[in-house]
Structure 1
Amino acid sequence: MKSISRLIIAFGLLGALSWLSFSATATLSAQQPSPNVDDEVLRISKSLYCPVCTGVPLDVCETQACVQWRALIREKLLAGESEAQIRQYFIAQYGERVLGAPPPEGFNLSAYILPVLVLLIGAVILFWTARGWLKRPQTANVPSTAPQVPSEYAERIARELKARE
């Protein structure tokens, strides 16, 4: 009887120890997200901007708000939400100012089209201006407006020049 009760106690202790080690392992793995989740958090953080600092991406900002946002992104990823759902959550909460670039729709589309259009118009103007600069003016046969020297004076000048030589 003693050996059976010792055996039951030994199995009970073994079961309790294995349960504790399993729960500790599960807790540690839950506390340390996989590197894949960290990479996703970093990738999503690069596309969002700090609500406090102007023009600072979420992935490099060290304010308390950004640390909380990155933790919230990690929680949402672990809960199974997609990147699009997380971005929509932040847009719904804080507006489109949290995005690195405005979405190319509606009036925001002008932010994508206008610079290209201005560059093209500038290139055309530069082309036409340079073409005008490089074009050589045509010389026309225009009669001279200078008075003609009478032939007797021309002969006299020629004779005097010969005499000087």
Structure 2
Amino acid sequence: MRLLLLLLSLWLPALAQEGPPPDLSPEVFRIARELRCPVCQGESAAESNSGVAVEMRRLIAEMLEEGKTEAEIKAFFVERYGEWILYEPPRRGVTLWVWVLPLMGLLLLGLGLFAYFRPRRPLPKELLEEAERRLKEPPA
């Protein structure tokens, strides 16, 4: 019972944070959620309460008011912080391997399991008889 209460106490706050806070527009929240907070460990700029994240959200809102697109806003932050700031790495160059290697690993695992569990064909009778004959012969 205690374990269930502990899990619920950890899970319910995560559900409550799915939508944007009342003081933040949904579009700002969506863009900020795709950017990392440079100060916090593992939080997006939308979820963090650090001064840097608050400033990032303010900049995003200003840029949207100026008519900039989501791509232009992300490019602005990438220029300042590098591609690390993006939660989803771009699918090119070295980071392409981050996307490809897990898929290749799953494919190889599937092929290996298929090869291991597929039914084996019995050996031809002539081959079995030849092997038995060689085993019974004395070594030369």
TM-score bracket for the superposition, by shorter chain length: 0.5 to 0.7
**CA RMSD, 1 decimal:** 2.3
Q: Deviation digits for residues 53-102 of structure 1, max 9, x if unmatched?
A: 12211111111110111011111111111111110000000111110111
Structure 1 residue runs of 5 or longer lacking an equivalent are 1-34, 146-165
User: When the two structures are aligned, how many residues end up with a matched partner?
Assistant: 107
Q: Distance in 1 between matches of 2:122 and 2:54?
A: 68
Q: Does 1:88 align with 2:88?
A: no
TM-score (norm: length of structure 1): 0.58
Equivalents in 2 of 1:77, 1:44: separation in Å?
Answer: 10
Cα deviation, residue 137, structure 1:
6.0
- Unpaired runs of 5+ residues, structure 2, are 1-21
Structure 1 residue 106 and structure 2 residue 102: aligned? Answer: no
Q: Considering only CA atoms, is the larger Rg found in Structure 1 or Structure 2?
A: 1
* Structure 1 outlier segments of 4+, above 2 Å: 134-143
Paired residue for 1:72?
59
Question: Structure 2 CA distance, aligned partners of 1:54 and 1:96?
Answer: 16
Q: TM-score, normalised by structure 2?
A: 0.67
Q: Distance in 2 between matches of 1:119 and 1:107?
A: 20
Work out the percentage of aligned pairs sharing the same amino acid. 36
Q: Deviations over 1:27-55 (max 9, x none)?
A: xxxxxxxx9x8121011011111101122
Q: Secondary structure at the match of 2:68?
A: coil
